[in-house]
Each structure stands twice: as C-alpha cells, then as structure tokens.
Structure 1
Amino acid sequence: MATEPVPIFTSVIDAHPIPAIATREAARFDALVSEFTQRFGHKPAYIARAPGRVNIIGEHIDYALFGVFPAAVEQDVLIACARRPDDLVLDGGERGHVHAQNLQPKYTPQTFAPMLRDAAITQNTEQSASSHVRLHQWHLDIDPRQLRWESYVKAGYYGVLERFFTPSGSAALESEPVNTDILVTGTIPAGSGLSSSAAMVVASTLAFLAVNDKLDIATPDAPTRRITKGELVSMAVENEKRVGVNSGGMDQAASVTALPSTALYISFYPVFHAEPVPLPIRRTARKAVWVCANSLVQSEKVLGAKTRYNLRVVETLVAARILARVLGLSALLASGDSKFTLREVLAAYVGSGEAKGAPAPALTPEQLSAGLERMLDEVERLRPARLAAREAGADAAQADAAGEELGLTYDEMVRFSGLDAAAFHATYLSWVEVEATRFQIYKRTKHVFSEALRVLRFRAADADALPESTLHDLGALMSASQASCSALFECSCPELDALTALALRSGAYGSRLTGAGWGGCTVSLVAEDEAEAFIARLVAGYPPYAGLGDEARREAVFATVPSNGAFVFKLG
C-alpha cells in the first residue's frame, strides 16, 4: 500500500463508493466550492481531503516501532485551494504568499509568506578537512508553544517548500511556489483523539502539492510518476514535528493509506508497511460496530507535550538503552550515543538479523509474538531495585522491594543508561523539551511490549464467519489495553476511565481510549443491533453530556465505519 500513488479523483462516487456517503459528500464539496468562490473571487482548483482515524488497539507503541491497528473514520478535513490569479492581489507580492481562511469563525483569517534565509554549514570534503557552504533555507513562523490553527497549515507547506523549492548555493530558484488561497473545513472535533492534527497536516501537505503541480514528479527512473502514499506519510510525519509533536507515524499512515471497510495493520520496522486487514466484526454470528464517544476533555498534543506525549517518547527511548545494557546486547550498544527503539532491542535479543531500512529478513507475526512473550519476562529486570542491585553486583532477582518507587530520578536514569551526563543530554534531550521528577522506565516498557502483543492477537482473529465469542475475545483485548494505558502508560484520565467503565456496563464487548489519551475519545465494540440503545445509555449516564444539544450529542457519540484514505479531488 505504501507504494501506491496518492489518488486523484474527478467524481465524488469514485472518491466515496457508498452512494449514501457520496450524496452527502457531494453536498459538502459544493458548499465548500461556493464559499471559496464568494470569499476569494475565483473558484478553487482542488479539494484536498484527509480523514481522522480511530486507533482500535495499539496505543503509544508506534514511536517504539511496533505495529498498530487503526482505521480511518468518516470525519475528515477538507481544504479547497487554488493558485491566486495574477490580476487578483489580496496582499503583498511575496513569492509563495498564502491567504488562509477557515469556515469555523473562531479561527481568524491568516496571511503568511515563506522567506529564504542564509544558513552556513561546515562540510567535510576530500580536498579539505572542512569548508563552509552557504545554503538557503525556508523559514515560516511556527511557534510550537502556541496552538494556532494555521500552524498545521504552515507545517504542511514547509515540507513542500523543503522538498521541491529549496536551492543550494544560490538564492535563485528553478521554480517558485505560487501565491495560494485556501479554505479549510472539517468534521473532526479538535482534541478528541481522532487525530485532527494529523489530518490537518496531511490535507495541507496535499493542498500545497496540488496547487504547485507537485503531485506528479520526475525521477531518474521515471519521467513522471505520482507521489506515493508512503512518501506522503513520510512528509506528513516530518511536517507535524514542526508544530512540536514527535509523532510515530500511525496517525498519518492511517489517514493516508486507509481503505473502506477494513482496518490497517501498520508496522514501522524494519521498513514502513501497511496492509488492509478485513475485520471479523461483520462476519460473526452477531454483527458489531465501533462507537466513538468524546470525553469532552480536550487533549492537545502540543500543549501537554513536555509532561505527556514527548516525555513518553523520551522514556521509551531511554528504556531501550537501559534494557539493552541489562540484556548485554553489545551490537546495539556499540552504536555509541545514537538512539534506538524497543522494537530494535527485541530484534537484537531474538537474533532476527533485522536492520532498520532493510526489507528482509523480518520476523513473522508468530515469531514476533513469541519474542514479545519472552521480553515481558525480561522487563521485570527494569524494576529500580533490580537495576540498583545489578549495578552493585548483588543478586538482582531477589531485589524486589514491597511498595518500591518504580520511577527513576534523572540522575539514576543517566547512570543506568551507561552514558555520561553530557552524552545523555545530547542524545535524549537536546532535541525535545520534557518535564518530570520521576521517569517511569519500567512501567512504560511493560506497556509497550504487552500492547504490541495485544495488537498481534487482535490482528490474528479470523475474518471468516465466527461465533459471537470472538467479539468477546476482541473486546477483552481492548479492555486490557485500556487498563494498561491507565495504570502503566498513564495516558488516561478520570473521565476516560469513567466513560470506558460506563461503556462496559452499557453492553460493550470492550472499550478503550483512542488517540494519545489524556482526554479525547473512547472507542467501544458494540453489537450492531444494540448500537442505538448503547449510545442512549452513554448519553444518559455520562454527566458532561447533560448540557449538550441534540446536534452536539450526535457529534460527541457516534457509530462509524472504516473510511477511504486521503485523496485530492480535482475540480473541472
């Protein structure tokens, strides 16, 4: 799937093959085109579309390079865009000037233009030990400390500028980015855990590729070819980092590569790989659906990054180094102060011969499951008392202490990593801001390995006709995931805990948070013939829903089907 070209459609029924959905989306497209024309005085040339996603299972393990199991949802971001006509000047004449508006009135119109700045670098050459080279780099004002809607638009734009318009050695450009008008709308609630931020970045990346005629590119191997889904995922992942989120790639991959009526098994090691997996929920003795329920606690990755999302990234990376030392994986440790992930630790531990970027050999799902079961035993060696006993040369197996503090201080973490303080900071903290008094290496690692195993067990469910007991098994995996997210990864919150517990009491087979956590949505597996009654019980039993109107409640709790992935719609 990663090698397939990004689709370009010219008819709504091709973009949305289900007639009822096509009729609804055609009306949305027409309304967006009409509004764009009224605001900018000319018609849009394209509509870029990127869906949100629901992560069925596999939370906070993508940046450890373990596989995840998401599906795209119907809710999406649409961006209508066009090159501004030369005779229509809205603002200054800067190259690549953008006038961006949003249909949501709370998001004010924005105008911005990229600037080329000089950047001096030192380059080693054969002729000289070092020489100074002048490069020209694009600059867009993106402040990751402030959550502004246009930052996601700028992030997508930045990646297009960097890939297609950055000169070297001279400020002269072979071609220049065009002046662009864009109008944004969407149906993904912000901060809901359905990945509105990734959808915004994917859609804006696509919009700027389309309006600058960069969807089809020339390569040494092909005079012209379409940008692939895998390339778009890579661009979007890097682009979202510019707003301060070190994403693992699951959100972008789901938004880009999804197919209707299927989930995706997305793996990242040794190479990015996405495959459609038919869900058994439509073929069991009793059909089931997914119900998403918004906790109404807004979860913004950027605002809480230092103490939440980015901190977890750092904890899992440091955990990989400490575990590699405990297991004596000298080949990994020989890389000095470079970072490696828990997935790479597992590969070295089982002797798979895998290497990042190399397509083969790769562990089969069965081999990976067996390796994860072994690693879950080894994780116990990361308990602080055992780490301290190992360092002191004592019997680490007997070092558990009742009620011991499971977190490490910063100094302890540095010491157990085997790096000196300067090398540790350069490797793990120089590129990201985090705040913590205790670093939960043991708990985070146990969650990552156990969650990765749950994903594989979920994926292994046979998609053919199955008894209803299969739904109970899948639901149990989802509920175990929620328990781990709450107790070990600590990415839940009281509202999510209450909402998932209510879902189970209301008849769900299983329920868990979805998305980064700390707010946002839950996803529950529910019998299709019970969906309406289930939703009514959630609405009645979750106090924050009491003050919502009918339309707001429908947006807060809804059943969903797997949706098509990102595409560009070319207007005639």
Structure 2
Amino acid sequence: MTPPVTPAATDLAAAFTERYGDEPAGVWAAPGRVNLIGEHTDYNEGFVLPFAIDHSTRVAAALRTDRTVRVASTFSGAGEVTVNLDELQPGSVTGWAAYPVGVLWALEQAGHRLPGLDLLIDSSVPVGAGLSSSAAIECAVAVAANELAGTGLSAPELALVGQRAENEMVGAPTGVMDQSASLLGRSGHAVFLDCRSLKAQLVPLPLADAGLTLLVIDTRVSHSHSTGGYADRRASCERGAELMGVSSLRELRVADLAEAAGTLDEETFRRVRHVVTENARVEDMVGILAAKGPGAIGALLDASHASMRDDFEISCPELDLAVDSARSNGALGARMTGGGFGGAAIALTPHDDVERVIAAVEEAFAAAGYAAPAIFAVLPADGAGRLA
C-alpha cells in the first residue's frame, strides 16, 4: 500500500522544484535508529538489537540525462555540491555530502551504472547524537536510487552499499547495524541482527502497550566516527581476536574470558570482555523480551552501560550523569547508545515517571554546568521507503 503523502514530503518536493526547476520523481525516507543493546559488536561479527525510530531523513530525487549529480540539503550551509559520477573516488567529496554521494559511488562499485541525479535532502534525525543520522541519509538515497535506476537490490544488499559508502568514501570504520536497522525496521519491533550472516529477525517491542516510554537524552556532546577513539577500539578488538587465535570476537564466549585474561594485556582484555559480554546481553535480551516483555530488560541496559563505561571506555561525564540521574529517578534501566564519546543515552521509563526523569536530568546537567540536554521520546518505526 502506498503511504499517505505527508506535509514534510510535500514541502520537500516544493523546495526541490524551487531549487532545480523541475518536479522530483518522488520523495523517499529512511529513519534514524536507536540501538537498544549491542554496542561495538557489529564489526566484530556479533549481535545487535536496534530499532528504527520515528525521526527520519527525506530525499526528493529526480533522474538526469547526464552523469552529473547535484546534491543539496535544508540543513547545511555549505550549499549545493555538484560531482560527475565518472570522477568519483574516495576523498573526492568531503563533509556531509560524502554520505549521499558515497552511496552512489558504492552502487557503481557494485556494478550498477547510474544516471545522474538531482537530490535535495531534509532530516529530523539529530546530528551527532548517536541516532545514526548518517545512515539515515545513506539509506534514503539508496532506496531512491535503487528505485529510480532500477538496480533491484534487496534491503540487506542496500545496507551493505550504505556501509561501504561510510567505510570507504567517508572513512568511518563502522559496521552494518545502522543501515540494517534503517532499512529493515518495523513499527512496534526491534531488529535482532546477526552481523556475521546478516540474518535479521523482528522482535516485538511493545513499549506503549507495556506502559513504557523510551527517552533519548541527547547530551549535545558531538562525536565523529571517522576520528580517533572509534578506530582505536576497532583496532583493539582486531588485535584481541588475533592474539586469541580466532577470526573475530564473535568466536569467543563468556566461558573463554578466563583464558583471555591470561593471554591479553589488561587494556585489550577489557575491550574483548566488553564485546563478549555484550553479545551475551543481546541474546539474553531477545529471550527476555519474548518471555517477559520490555518491562524486564532494565538490568541488561544498566549492565551494558557499565561495560561501555569501564571496559570499553567510550562513555563521558555527560553520558554517565544522564544515565545515573535517569536511573535514580524512576527509569527501569538506562545506557548510552551509539558509538560513544558523546551522543545520547536512552532511559526506559514508566509513563508515570517520564516528567520526573526529564526534570531530574535537566537539573543535574544545570548543576554540573553542562549545556542543556535535548530529551525526547522515540517509538519503533517502519524502515526506509517511498513517501510520495
């Protein structure tokens, strides 16, 4: 069934016509995501449990008769970027435009010759908050180009296209979780993804029915996956796998950690311990959601945050304060979400305690002298598709 045309889609189409002089062929959208649990496990061929959220990126698009791509956005002051598909290569486009243009490059690298395109992008996914605004851009452009150019790729194939764009064109060594959640999500469900096989399973996540709200606490501390800490953590995981004689940390189970403690240096061991125990927590959460529902997952959220704070060392004072304040004022569980070093935390909160949690976090940030956080609720939403 064709979704109803939303005001946002109509407005973006009108803005496209004003900019480019012709109507777009359509408007497509892809959501951001919250990772419920399973952090830094994706590039270790492990398990993740994200869900698509009700904040999305939209792209109005039209084919051209040449090989030129023009891309602009409503949110960047950088103006319009124009490139020729024949001249694209990693490093040839930088900044935010590398994400949409990178998708077109990755499609061509996969053997799909594309026509030129005009693109206008709009987004309601907060940038730098760990909600994967980058993957939302990639997936919106991917589904638009896939339809307009008739490449016929499946959602899992488009997820790999988006990952390649981010890895090679942008230079961020991320896994495939973000794109998979944005493309495969469904309202009221999380996506249990095996990052080795790319097999995905929808897991019911009836938050509203359980009387629960998932709050996102955007600390306003921005981060970038293409710099520093993220790459260091990935290299540490690869080193740990090599020293343990396995192809990836997916091969290790909790029972193997005693051996790892005697084999690895202290820092590498802690990095490995996080990934191994986080994989176990993802599997445990899938089982608990099936048996008891979302009201019973708070302890796993708390344990995940402690592991990221102490073993993987990717939290920051603002994230820790958000988690502690939420937890002590009624949240059933809380954790940072996303790659770390800033971004957002999530707090699973009974409806009746939402206002108290929000007020407590805001007061704690003010008392600490931090910038005011942005706090909002999210619900599991449908994945990428055509709006108009």
Q: Same fold (TM over 0.5)?
A: yes
Structure 2 equivalent of residue 234 of structure 1:
160
Aligned partners of 1:375 and 1:449 also within 8 Å:
no
> For 2:297, what is the secondary structure of its paired residue?
helix
- Aligned residue identity for 2:58: L
- Cα-Cα RMSD: 2.2
Q: Number of matched residues?
A: 386
Q: 1:180 deviation in Å?
A: 1.8
Q: Which of 12, 15, 21 is matched with 1:41 structurally?
A: 21
Q: Which of 214, 217, 221 is matched with 1:293 structurally?
A: 217
Equivalent runs, 1:72-91 vs 2, <5 Å? 72-84=52-64
CA distance 1:207–1:280, shift in 2 (3 Å): closer
- In 1, the alpha carbon distance for the partners of 2:334 and 2:148 equals 42
> For 1:43, what is the secondary structure of its paired residue?
coil
Structure 2 equivalent of residue 114 of structure 1:
85
Q: 1:165 deviation in Å?
A: 4.2
Q: Is residue 2:24 matched to residue 1:53? A: no
- Listed one character per residue, the Cα deviations across residues 495-542 of structure 1 (whole Å, up to 9, x for unaligned) are 111111111122111111100010001011100222233223322332
Structure 2 equivalent of residue 21 of structure 1:
none
Structure 2 equivalent of residue 509 of structure 1:
332
Aligned partners of 2:48 and 2:195 also within 8 Å:
no
Aligned partners of 1:142 and 1:154 also within 8 Å:
no
> For 1:108, what is the secondary structure of its paired residue?
coil
- In 2, the alpha carbon distance for the partners of 1:545 and 1:205 equals 41
Q: Which of 171, 175, 180 is matched with 1:253 structurally?
A: 180
Structure 2 equivalent of residue 161 of structure 1:
108
Q: 1:559 deviation in Å?
A: 0.9
Structure 2 equivalent of residue 327 of structure 1:
none
- Aligned residue identity for 1:300: S
Structure 2 equivalent of residue 205 of structure 1:
142
Structure 1 equivalent of residue 193 of structure 2:
266
TM-score (norm 2): 0.93
- In 2, the alpha carbon distance for the partners of 1:563 and 1:322 equals 41
- Listed one character per residue, the Cα deviations across residues 539-565 of structure 1 (whole Å, up to 9, x for unaligned) are 2332289876xxxx7xx2111110101
Q: Which of 186, 191, 195 is matched with 2:123 structurally?
A: 186
Q: Which of 186, 191, 203 is matched with 1:277 structurally?
A: 203
Aligned partners of 2:191 and 2:202 also within 8 Å:
yes
Q: Which of 377, 384, 398 is matched with 2:258 structurally?
A: 377
Structure 2 equivalent of residue 565 of structure 1:
383
- Aligned residue identity for 2:222: Q
> For 1:519, what is the secondary structure of its paired residue?
coil
- In 1, the alpha carbon distance for the partners of 2:331 and 2:292 equals 20
CA distance 1:261–1:107, shift in 2 (3 Å): farther
Equivalent runs, 1:169-568 vs 2, <5 Å? 177-214=114-151, 216=152, 227-242=153-168, 243-269=170-196, 271-279=197-205, 281-282=207-208, 284=210, 287-302=211-226, 304=227, 307-324=228-245, 340-343=247-250, 345-346=251-252, 372-384=253-265, 406=266, 440-463=267-290, 471=295, 473-543=296-366, 556-568=374-386
> For 1:499, what is the secondary structure of its paired residue?
helix
- Aligned residue identity for 1:203: A
- In 1, the alpha carbon distance for the partners of 2:69 and 2:21 equals 15
- Listed one character per residue, the Cα deviations across residues 353-399 of structure 1 (whole Å, up to 9, x for unaligned) are xxxxxxxxxxxxxxxxxxx2312333322343xxxxxxxxxxxxxxx
Gap runs ≥5 in structure 2: none
CA distance 1:479–1:46, shift in 2 (3 Å): same
Q: 1:153 deviation in Å?
A: 1.3
Aligned partners of 2:281 and 2:300 also within 8 Å:
yes
CA distance 1:263–1:141, shift in 2 (3 Å): closer
Q: 1:283 deviation in Å?
A: 5.3
Identity %: 29
Equivalent runs, 1:140-155 vs 2, <5 Å? 140=89, 142=91, 148-155=95-102
Q: Is residue 2:80 matched to residue 1:100? A: no
Aligned partners of 1:280 and 1:461 also within 8 Å:
no
> For 2:201, what is the secondary structure of its paired residue?
strand
- Aligned residue identity for 1:106: G
- In 1, the alpha carbon distance for the partners of 2:158 and 2:76 equals 30
Q: 1:33 deviation in Å?
A: 0.9
- In 2, the alpha carbon distance for the partners of 1:71 and 1:241 equals 22
CA distance 1:295–1:442, shift in 2 (3 Å): same
Aligned partners of 1:264 and 1:275 also within 8 Å:
yes
Q: Is residue 2:10 matched to residue 1:30? A: yes
TM-score (norm 1): 0.64
Gap runs ≥5 in structure 1: 1-8, 13-24, 87-94, 117-138, 167-176, 217-226, 325-331, 333-339, 347-371, 385-405, 407-439
Q: Which has the larger radius of gyration?
A: 1
Name whichever structure is richer in helix by fraction. Answer: 2
Aligned partners of 1:190 and 1:196 also within 8 Å:
yes
